[in-house]
């Protein structure tokens, strides 16, 4: 038989996948080129029997098997097709998966789907150096990483002389030196990386698979056996007559030959014409194996059709069996071991990752068969679980399923050995346990806890405490009636009890186990997350979620000044629960894991250690967190989903460093464009002020709790809150120089920062060029304004001068006007004086003529005629109006200059007598006053006026006097 020790010398195959994706015996029988995946159900005789078998197996597995941590990713998570055909990994530890929808890429935080032009199914993938080779329907080629982090595809089909066959699919890829081998059902295409040539190895029959063993490539063809490719040509290794219809799903080095895993007939030794069956202990012969992989530690992984994954250990053939729902699906299509030793399973409906490189194992009570684990205990190969459903027992040596201890159904709070007796505290009371039998010895109240006290036992109940003496008699201890879930016996005379709401109590006991004195030590604040009292070393402590206090006997009080408080000051504890296991290790429970003490060998004092076990994987009601010692350095933590088992010192794969995976930018339309990751000083135009970052820690452990925090210096200087979200986006960032920084916290440990420097240019109107233009425009504006102001002031000065000149002219004009006014006034005065003189002269003449006329009249009536004639002649001579007229004319012209001349010009037909009449009328004299001046009668004056009116051709409506008075010299035309 082939046991594990026979595989010790098997060479390790790292990063290779010997999976195969073809139907089994139906292909052999049909001999046609039809590859259909779901055919295997036809090989099962009846579905009801299969269902019953699976249910029985699931029940056994869930109830009895501890498994490694497994992460599952469904199509809804990675947003691609459900089937995953092949996996590979590059040097940066990115995982690549051949998926129904394209090439999937996973970096530990983000999934990216890469598609070729037709977006079809990708059947195979293999990483070699810096290229990711893929095979698909009617297509094969490679992907290369660009500066912006994207993958760009190059097809190799154009290099194939004559092209490929219609409908050809490429199901497997292997790397052999400088050659990349692409296998389809009809041909193997060998691509030489250096000269970029492709040679084709054809087969008359269907090629079922392709393997690499050492430096050779092997394949199997229907009805032709197993071939090796040497010098570009196939040669037979195992003939068809030996293999017959056995389809090989895995081929590995073995001693001097090879180990072949078949679809349904087990394992064979192959090579040099040899084909011998090798019985393997624990091998699932009844299963249809679809893919096989020999791991680096020589564990054989077998992916089955419809019944999950089997792991066969190299030492003792120990079997581990993983089924749905631990796996995403029970049909395993592909297997891959990554650089950390984790197993990746591509299934028919998702991807599962089994974390093998740690000391943790999980018991998942998927179907609720056992319930929430509140306590546990192990001895003599038997493991007990106290749950909310009862007390369960299992034989750890045989890995038997957990079974309920009869009579213990209900809530179990504690399991503890005191002396030679194993006790269980139960909701119904106290049980004594003897292997798989239980005896109820106390049923008056639920029992929280039991502790030895002197020669007896003190029990904590829902409503106080009781004492069991050496004879087994049980009595109530009076003086303390509170619920007593947490009891610590300091010595035979001192008992400490913690109550979640009332604090810590110290009970001084009498020798007969009665209470002598009770003292309460109340917490400084309310403690909804619980209070625990415990004895660590030789000291008494109590803990809340926030602090740990040590009792000082000399001060008879608790103090926060102690080593445990110092050690946990920076931890994020989620409860006040603290436990000291029998090996003296103190435990407390945090958000990201659990903390424990370890002794520093050099300084002989406790130091704090950490087990990354996030709260999500040990979920249980607060204050009921529990941990127990199973064996040396092996511990069990209970949860609502089952339990977790781990060993100290805790070992796990420390995640690799944090890295920025992608940077994308956009404008306000939010059409994001990738940016180069090699240029860590990116300049962006002002409109591109939306930026998004993707980052991740390249790790794939289910138990690693990874959170991220980020900031942009000079924009969001405060670090963001820790979050598992591995993306950060910013919108409407103003212009400036920025430094994006991101850091990770892995299981409570903070990594260094990764950064990306970028600059958002100011808008064109705020650029340097614009600034220069603005300066020039400003200078031009200053010059222009200066000129404008100069011109303005010059104009203002000119206006002022002009105004002053005008004002001066006005003043001069006013002065001249004043002078003219004065002159006019003088002229008027002179005119008035002349008029007075003229009037006086006129009146004098009139008076003289009147007097002479009167004298003449009187003389004509007196005296001798001769004397009278002489006097009258003398008077007539003195009454000659020519002299009077000349005198009058001179005075009149002085008073009314040019009037007579103007009237003469206006009316040239006027006689001197007419002008005289006009002058007298001008003086506004009446006809009666004019008659003496003309030495005629008044009637004659009227006649003269009439004649003058006719000569002036006046209208009958116009008065002669008004015309003469209103006559102006300017009316002369």
DSSP 3-state assignment of 770? Answer: helix
Q: Give CA–CA dist 211/226, Å, rounded.
A: 10
Domain ranges of the chain: 81-204, 531-629, 659-763, 767-876, 896-973
Q: 882 falls in which pLDDT band (50, 70, 90)?
A: low
Judged against a pLDDT cut of 50, whether residue 718 lies above it is answered with: yes
DSSP secondary structure letter of residue 24: -
Judged against a pLDDT cut of 80, whether residue 525 lies above it is answered with: no
Q: Residue 298: which of 544, 8, 40, 532 has the closest Cα?
A: 8
pLDDT tens, residue by residue, 762-784: 888 887 788 888 899 889 989 88
CA angle, residues 181, 184, 190, in degrees to nearest 5: 25
Mean pLDDT of 733-759: 91
Assigned CATH topology for domain 659-763: Immunoglobulin-like (2.60.40)
Q: Name every residue whose Cβ is closer than 8 Å to that of residue 521 and which is 6 or more positions away in sequence.
A: 503, 504, 505, 506, 542, 557, 558
pLDDT value for 46: 33
Q: Name every residue whose Cβ is closer than 8 Å to that of residue 900 and which is 6 or more positions away in sequence.
A: 889, 892, 893, 915, 918, 919
pLDDT tens, residue by residue, 297-312: 999 999 999 999 999 9
Q: 529 falls in which pLDDT band (50, 70, 90)?
A: confident
Q: Is the distance from CB of 334 to CB of 293 less than 8 angstroms?
A: no
pLDDT value for 725: 95
Q: Is the distance from CB of 492 to CB of 467 less than 8 angstroms?
A: no
Name the one residue in this structure whose structure tokens are 């796990």: 652
The string of DSSP codes covering 178-239 is TEEEEE-SSEEEEEETTT--EEEEE-SS-EEEEEEETTEEEEEETTTEEEEEETTEEEEEE-
CA angle, residues 94, 650, 486, in degrees to nearest 5: 130
Q: Residue 412: which of 400, 426, 399, 402 has the closest Cα?
A: 426
When computed from its CA atoms, the radius of gyration of the chain, rounded to whole angstroms, is: 63
Q: Residue 386: which of 399, 367, 401, 371 has the closest Cα?
A: 371
pLDDT value for 337: 97
Question: What integer best gives the mean pLDDT of the chain?
Answer: 85
Mean pLDDT of 86-112: 96
Q: Give CA–CA dist 274/276, Å, rounded.
A: 6
> What distance, in Å, lies between the first and last C-alpha atoms of the chain?
159
pLDDT value for 422: 97
Beta-strand relationship, 382-387 and 373-379: antiparallel
Higher pLDDT, 602 or 21: 602
The string of DSSP codes covering 824-855 is HHHHHHHHHHHHHHHHHHHHHHHHHHHHHHHH
Q: Give CA–CA dist 315/333, Å, rounded.
A: 26
Portion of the chain with pLDDT greater than 90, in percent: 57
Question: Worst-scoring range by mean pLDDT, 159-163, 189-193, 365-369, 891-895?
Answer: 891-895
pLDDT value for 94: 96
CATH class of 81-204: mainly beta
pLDDT value for 765: 83
Q: Which two tokens stand for residue 269?
A: 């030794």
Q: Which CATH architecture has domain 896-973?
A: Orthogonal Bundle (1.10)
Q: Give CA–CA dist 176/742, Å, rounded.
A: 40
Portion of the chain with pLDDT greater than 70, in percent: 85
Q: Is the distance from CB of 894 to CB of 838 less than 8 angstroms?
A: yes
Partners of residue 311 on adjacent β-strands: 301, 320
Judged against a pLDDT cut of 80, whether residue 832 lies above it is answered with: no
């Amino acid at each position: 038989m082939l046991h594990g020790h026979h595989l010790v010398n098997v060479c390790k195959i790292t990063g290779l996948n010997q999976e195969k994706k073809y139907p089994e015996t139906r292909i052999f029988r049909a001999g046609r080129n039809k590859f259909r995946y779901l055919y295997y159900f036809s090989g099962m005789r009846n579905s009801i029997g299969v269902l019953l078998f699976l249910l029985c197996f699931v029940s056994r597995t869930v109830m009895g098997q501890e498994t490694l941590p497994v992460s599952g990713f469904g199509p809804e998570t990675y947003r691609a097709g459900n089937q995953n055909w092949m996996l590979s990994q590059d040097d940066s530890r990115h995982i690549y998966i051949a998926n129904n929808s394209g090439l999937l890429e996973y970096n530990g935080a983000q999934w990216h789907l890469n598609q070729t032009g037709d977006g079809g199914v990708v059947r195979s993938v293999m990483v070699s150096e810096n290229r990711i080779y893929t095979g698909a329907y009617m297509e094969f080629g490679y992907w290369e990483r660009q500066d912006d982090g994207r993958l760009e595809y190059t097809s190799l089909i154009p290099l194939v002389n004559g092209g490929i066959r219609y409908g050809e699919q490429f199901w497997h890829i292997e790397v052999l030196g400088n050659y990349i081998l692409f296998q389809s059902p009809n041909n193997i295409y060998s691509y030489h990386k250096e000269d970029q040539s492709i040679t084709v190895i054809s087969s008359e029959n269907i090629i079922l698979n392709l393997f690499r063993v050492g430096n050779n490539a092997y394949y199997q063809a229907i009805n032709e056996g197993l071939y090796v490719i040497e010098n570009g040509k196939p040669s037979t290794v195992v003939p068809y007559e030996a293999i017959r219809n056995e389809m090989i799903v895995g081929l590995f080095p073995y001693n001097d030959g090879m180990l072949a895993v078949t679809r349904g007939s087990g394992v064979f030794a192959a090579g040099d014409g040899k084909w011998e069956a090798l019985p393997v202990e624990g091998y699932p012969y009844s299963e249809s194996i679809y893919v096989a992989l020999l791991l680096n530690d020589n564990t054989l992984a077998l992916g089955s059709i419809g019944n999950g994954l089997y792991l066969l250990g190299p030492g003792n053939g120990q079997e581990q069996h993983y089924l749905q729902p631990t796996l995403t699906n029970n049909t395993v299509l592909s297997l891959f071991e990554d650089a950390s030793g984790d197993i990746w399973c591509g299934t028919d409906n998702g991807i599962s990752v089994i974390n093998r490189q740690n000391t943790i194992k999980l018991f998942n009570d998927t179907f609720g068969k056992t319930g929430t684990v509140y306590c546990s205990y192990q001895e003599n190969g038997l493991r007990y679980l106290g749950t909310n459903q009862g007390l369960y027992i299992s034989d750890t040596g045989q890995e038997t399923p957990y079974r309920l201890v009869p009579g213990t159904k209900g809530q179990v709070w504690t399991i503890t050995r005191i002396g030679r007796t194993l006790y269980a505290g139960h909701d119904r009371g106290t049980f004594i346990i003897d292997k798989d039998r239980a005896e109820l010895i106390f049923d008056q109240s639920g029992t929280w806890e039991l502790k030895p006290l002197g020669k007896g036992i003190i029990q904590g109940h829902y409503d106080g405490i009781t004492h069991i003496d050496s004879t087994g008699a049980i009595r109530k201890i009076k003086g303390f009636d509170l619920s007593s879930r947490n009891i610590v016996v300091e010595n035979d005379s001192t008992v400490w009890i913690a109550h979640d709401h009332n604090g810590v109590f110290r009970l001084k006991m009498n020798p007969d186990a009665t209470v002598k004195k009770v003292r309460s030590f109340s917490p400084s604040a309310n403690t909804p997350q619980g209070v625990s009292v415990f004895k660590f070393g030789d000291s008494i402590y109590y803990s809340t979620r926030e602090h740990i206090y040590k009792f000082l006997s000399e001060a008879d009080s608790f103090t926060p000044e102690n080593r445990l408080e110092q050690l946990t000051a920076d931890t994020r504890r989620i409860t006040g629960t603290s436990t000291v296991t029998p090996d003296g290790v103190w435990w407390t429970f945090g958000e990201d894991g659990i903390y424990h003490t370890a002794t520093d060998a050099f300084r002989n004092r406790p130091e704090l250690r950490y087990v990354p076990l996030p709260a999500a994987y040990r979920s249980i009601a607060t204050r009921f967190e529990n941990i127990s010692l199973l064996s040396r350095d092996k511990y069990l933590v209970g949860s609502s989903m089952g339990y977790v088992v781990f060993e100290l010192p805790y070992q796990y794969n420390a995640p690799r460093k944090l890295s920025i995976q992608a940077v994308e930018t956009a404008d306000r339309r939010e059409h994001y464009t990738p940016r180069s990751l090699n240029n860590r000083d990116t300049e962006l135009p002002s409109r591109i002020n939306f930026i998004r970052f993707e980052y991740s820690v390249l790790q794939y452990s289910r138990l690693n709790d990874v959170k991220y925090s980020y900031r942009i210096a000079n924009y969001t200087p405060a670090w963001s809150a820790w979050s598992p979200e591995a993306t950060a986006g910013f919108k409407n960032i103003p212009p400036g120089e920025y430094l994006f920084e991101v850091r990770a916290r892995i299981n409570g440990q903070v990594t260094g920062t990764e950064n990306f420097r970028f600059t958002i240019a100011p808008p064109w109107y705020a650029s340097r060029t614009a600034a220069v233009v603005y300066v020039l425009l400003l200078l031009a504006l200053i010059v222009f304004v200066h000129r404008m102001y100069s011109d303005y002031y010059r104009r203002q000065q000119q206006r002022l001068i002009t105004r002053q000149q005008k004002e001066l002219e006005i003043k001069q004009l006013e002065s001249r006007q004043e002078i003219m006014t004065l002159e006019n006034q003088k002229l008027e005065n002179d005119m008035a004086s002349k008029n007075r003189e003229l009037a006086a002269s006129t009146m004098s003449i009139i008076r003289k003529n009147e007097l002479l006329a009167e004298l003449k009249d009187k003389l004509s009536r007196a005296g001798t005629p001769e004397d009278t004639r002489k006097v009258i002649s003398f008077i007539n001579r003195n009454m000659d109006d020519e002299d009077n007229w000349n005198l009058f004319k001179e005075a009149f012209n002085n008073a009314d200059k040019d009037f007579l001349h103007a009237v003469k010009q206006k009316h040239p037909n006027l006689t001197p007598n007419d002008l005289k009449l006009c002058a007298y009328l001008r003086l506004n004299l009446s006809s009666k006053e004019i008659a003496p001046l003309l030495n005629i009668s008044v009637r004659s004056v009227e006649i003269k006026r009439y004649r003058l009116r006719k000569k002036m051709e006046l209208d009958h409506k116009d008065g002669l006097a008004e015309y003469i008075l209103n006559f102006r010299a300017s009316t002369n035309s």
